[in-house]
């Protein structure tokens, strides 16, 4: 991991239980890295710990153990003042654009706030930079005096992205930034994020639950389940030839328009994952749901092992489980996103 912009080493976040209940290990020994100008996607079902991981990176969740290093500096025990200084370089785009924007502040006030908090530039220069950033995300200067309630969901998310980029960060944590938006607007925002990455040379930690979307955005993908890493590798390899049964289940979870294809896909998903109780134990957390479980899966935590598809999977049976390859219908969405995004982008440029 040497030379990476962000390094996460054996990170764990444990929430204490209430009224005598057991603690919840939201993130359990996760290690990953993000290089400069790279996008690393983190994908998993609800409750997999991916959002908690992102919040821990930006300092909004306290670490129980492990380390987070940014440009080689350990942030795990950094003082609040130092964290505040570093927040200029590490920003976050939240899932809900309406909830993350203050309803009592205008868009202009929201955009200049990060610059004022760090004592950057004069008031006049802050306004100029806010106007320039709005133009960069496809919005006009007239929006400065508006309130979040006067904007659409897509416009609010563009404002949230603009706010995150105002202090010129190097790393942006994107926590499901398009999950609350309509499909056509999702394409616009995804293509906007990719363009901004090229223009501003950004690095992304991109969190999502839709593997097709994460694949479109990412260079590498980390698959999480119940706080642990199940599989990691190049985005294309993870999506086209997943090795872990849980990753295979995520690929098959993407819906198809054709009813016959959808029924066939549901049958394949049920063959991969059986319904079972979620129980805590020392072994693989996916074992109660996995159709390929053997006794050793329940006894010991599986290490990340190299797979024939070029990924690493936390599965002791990685060489025994039948190879899974996504058929064309399974990743048709990959081809739709860029074309739909270009179409929407063309329409947007034509109406400016």
Among 337, 290, 347, which Cα is nearest to 313's? Answer: 290
Which of 168, 189, 221 terminates a domain? The answer is 168
Position 322 scores a pLDDT of 79
In terms of residue numbers, what domain contains 279? Answer: 243-333
Supply the DSSP symbol for 273.
B
Assess if residue 139 is contained within a domain.
yes
Query: What's the CA gap between 54 and 56, in Å, rounded?
Result: 5
User: Does residue 81 sit in helix, strand or coil?
Assistant: helix
Per residue in 109-119, pLDDT (tens digit) is: 999 999 999 99
Assess if residue 138 is contained within a domain.
yes
**pLDDT (mean) for 241-252:** 91
Mean pLDDT, all residues of the chain: 86
Radius of gyration of the chain (CA): 21
The tally of domains found in the chain comes to: 2
Assess if residue 200 is contained within a domain.
no
Assess if residue 93 is contained within a domain.
no
Supply the DSSP symbol for 345.
H
Alpha-carbon torsion (132, 134, 140, 143), positive or negative: negative
Return the higher-pLDDT residue of 122 and 338: 122
Cα distances from 339 to residues 62, 217, 332, 336, in angstroms, run 41, 14, 12, 5
Per residue in 160-210, pLDDT (tens digit) is: 999 999 999 999 999 999 988 888 899 999 999 999 999 999 999 999 999
Among 41, 337, 58, 33, which Cα is nearest to 192's? Answer: 337
**Matching residue, tokens 């190299």:** 306
Supply the DSSP symbol for 283.
S
Assess if residue 329 is contained within a domain.
yes
Residues linked to residue 34 through DSSP beta bridges, in sequence order: 6
Query: What's the CA gap between 75 and 83, in Å, rounded?
Result: 7
Assess if residue 192 is contained within a domain.
no
Assess if residue 19 is contained within a domain.
no
Assess if residue 324 is contained within a domain.
yes
Per residue in 141-158, pLDDT (tens digit) is: 999 999 999 999 999 999
């Amino acid at each position: 991991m040497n030379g990476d912009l962000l390094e996460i080493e054996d990170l764990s976040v444990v929430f204490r239980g209430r009224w005598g209940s057991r603690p919840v290990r939201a993130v359990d020994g996760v290690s990953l890295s993000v290089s400069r100008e790279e996008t690393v996607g983190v994908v998993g079902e609800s409750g997999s710990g991916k959002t908690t991981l992102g919040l821990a990176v930006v300092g909004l969740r306290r670490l129980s153990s492990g380390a987070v290093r940014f440009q080689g500096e350990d942030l795990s025990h950094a003082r609040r003042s130092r964290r505040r200084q570093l927040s200029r370089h590490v920003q976050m785009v939240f899932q809900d654009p309406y909830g993350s924007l203050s309803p009592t502040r205008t868009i202009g006030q929201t955009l200049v706030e990060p610059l004022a908090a760090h004592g950057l530039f004069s008031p006049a220069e802050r306004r100029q930079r806010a106007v320039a950033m709005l133009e960069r995300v496809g919005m006009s200067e007239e929006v400065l005096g508006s309130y979040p309630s006067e904007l659409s969901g897509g416009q609010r998310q563009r404002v949230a992205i603009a706010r995150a980029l105002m202090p010129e960060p190097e790393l942006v944590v994107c926590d499901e930034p398009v999950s609350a938006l309509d499909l056509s607007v999702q394409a616009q925002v995804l293509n906007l994020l990719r363009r901004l990455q090229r223009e501003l040379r950004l690095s992304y930690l991109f969190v999502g639950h839709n593997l097709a979307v994460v694949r479109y955005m990412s260079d590498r993908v980390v698959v999480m389940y119940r706080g642990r890493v199940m599989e990691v590798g190049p985005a294309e390899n993870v999506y086209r030839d997943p090795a872990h049964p849980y990753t295979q289940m995520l690929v098959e979870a993407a819906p198809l328009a054709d009813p016959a294809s959808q029924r066939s896909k549901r049958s394949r998903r049920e063959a991969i994952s059986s319904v079972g109780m979620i129980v805590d134990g020392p072994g693989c957390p996916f074992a109660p749901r996995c159709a390929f479980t053997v006794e050793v899966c329940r006894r010991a935590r599986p290490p990340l092992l190299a797979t024939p598809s070029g990924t690493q999977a936390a599965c002791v049976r990685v060489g025994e489980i039948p190879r899974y390859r996504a058929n064309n219908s399974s990743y048709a969405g990959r081809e739709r996103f860029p074309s739909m995004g270009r179409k929407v982008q063309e329409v947007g440029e034509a109406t400016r």
